[in-house]
Amino acid sequence: MAENGGVAGAGRERARHWQYAELPGVDLLRARYVHKTFVRHTHENFVIAAIADGAEIFHHGGADRYAGAGTLALVNPDTPHTGRAGVPEGWRYGAVYPSPELVAEIAAETTVLRGTPGFLTPVLDDPYAVRLVHQVLRAADEGNALAADTLLRAAVTRLLRRNGGPLPQRTPRTAGARVAARARAVLEERLVRPPTLERLAGDLGTSPFALLRAFRDAYGMPPHAWLTDVRVRRARGLLDAGVVPAEAALAVGFTDQPHLNRHFTRIVGVPPGSYQRERKNVQEARRGPGLGSDAWQKKQLSGTYEVRTPETQTPATRTYEAQGYETQGYEARTPETQTHPVRTAGSPTPPSYGTPSASEWPSGSPASPSG
């Protein structure tokens, strides 16, 4: 670990993208990136990314946003955004991706928001919520279903109360928006063999550049980037269903598996093979793996994905303890070399991961310790 709370091993990247059987429909991620660049893409679910070290810059809403340690990067469903390191050391973070249905359920139970709930600003400085997110990941790692579900609901409630509001309805009202919607429908139907921009525009009675402008205005990216994003999303569904990556690649329109690997990793953050192995672990958990907790934990952690860069070719899988939680599978300082404190935004002694303190729990929550 670098001095002043920097990230150790500047050339080494690691990521684990997984699900926990007791949090259905919620994706989980732990990652540490240095050279990684996420292309413009969207998610079906919400993104709640808690930055632990370093900083990320992501383009969102027409501007670059900076999220440093102790802040959260918050992205609503179907919102185009990118991602890259904001400092030379990169960034380390944990993220949860709850579904719109789960967020709406929590909002209806614990807030006064009306309409479709979402986040108003893409970056929020909230060290306590950052710790909650990492505690959700730790609870999921340890197989503590009650804690994972409770902490996730507490984190979402807190974020909605501090930074929530109704999302605007996307109704195509202009002629350009209606053309873009028709173009999107054609591309969805012809995912494997899409038309050229000129032919698509001609079929819709407009010019290529007019269609390009209208589509970008409506969906935040040009048609070819949107098509790649949808192909990766469809590939994820096939991988979830057990289709092997090579077959999934052809089924959604990529030329071969390396083509899928390249785009999948640039959007999801891990290769499709690593992604699918974690899904198989979840399916085994739902069937009952018959393994002791230690054995199950080792099996779960085996899917951690490491990116080796030219600067560093040696894997590391030490356990890093900071801010009251363990982030397993990361390279980090060992007790012998840990001489500089990690930057923690807020109290260095956060509450136990199992039960947030009553004073900081969102008041009125059904799960509040005070009742």
pLDDT digits (tens, 9 = 90+) for 264-279: 999 999 999 999 998 8
**104 lies in the same domain as 211:** no
Query: 280 falls in which pLDDT band (50, 70, 90)?
Result: confident
pLDDT in tens, 11-64: 589 999 999 999 998 999 999 999 999 999 999 999 999 999 999 999 999 999
Q: Based on the domain organization, do 136 and 38 belong to the same domain? A: yes
Residue 14 lies in a domain: yes
Is the backbone of residue 100 left (phi > 0), alpha (psi -120 to 50) or beta?
Answer: alpha
Last residue of a domain, one of 219, 247, 273: 273
pLDDT at 288 (0 to 100): 55
Q: What is the DSSP letter of 334?
A: -
Check whether residue 50 and residue 134 sit in a common domain: yes
Q: What is the DSSP string of 254-297?
A: -SSHHHHHHHHHHHHSS-HHHHHHHHHHHHHHHH-----HHHHH
Average pLDDT over residues 99-125: 96
Q: Which domain holds residue 42?
A: 3-168+289-307
Cα distances from 247 to residues 227, 239, 242, 250, 347, in angstroms, run: 18, 9, 10, 5, 49
Distances (CA, A) of 206 to 12, 108, 214, 268: 48, 43, 10, 34
Is the residue at 89 inside a domain? yes
Do 183 and 44 reside in the same domain of the chain? no
Average pLDDT over residues 253-271: 96
Is 162 found in the same domain as 27? Answer: yes
Q: Are 28 and 97 in contact (CB under 8 A)?
A: yes
Has residue 369 got a pLDDT over 70?
A: no
Question: Does residue 93 contact residue 50 with C-beta atoms inside 8 Å?
Answer: yes
Distance of CA 345 to the CA centre of its chain: 21
Give percent above pLDDT 70 in the chain.
Answer: 72
Look at residue 134 in the predicted model and tell me its pLDDT: 98
Burial class (CB in 10 A: 0-12, 13-18, 19+), 310: exposed
Q: Which residue has the tokens 């018959």?
A: 290
Query: What value does the mean pLDDT of the chain take?
Result: 80
Q: pTM of the entire structure?
A: 0.77
CA distance 109 to 326: 31
Q: Is residue 225 one of the residues assigned to a domain? A: yes
94 and 157 within one domain: yes
Q: How many domains does the chain have?
A: 2
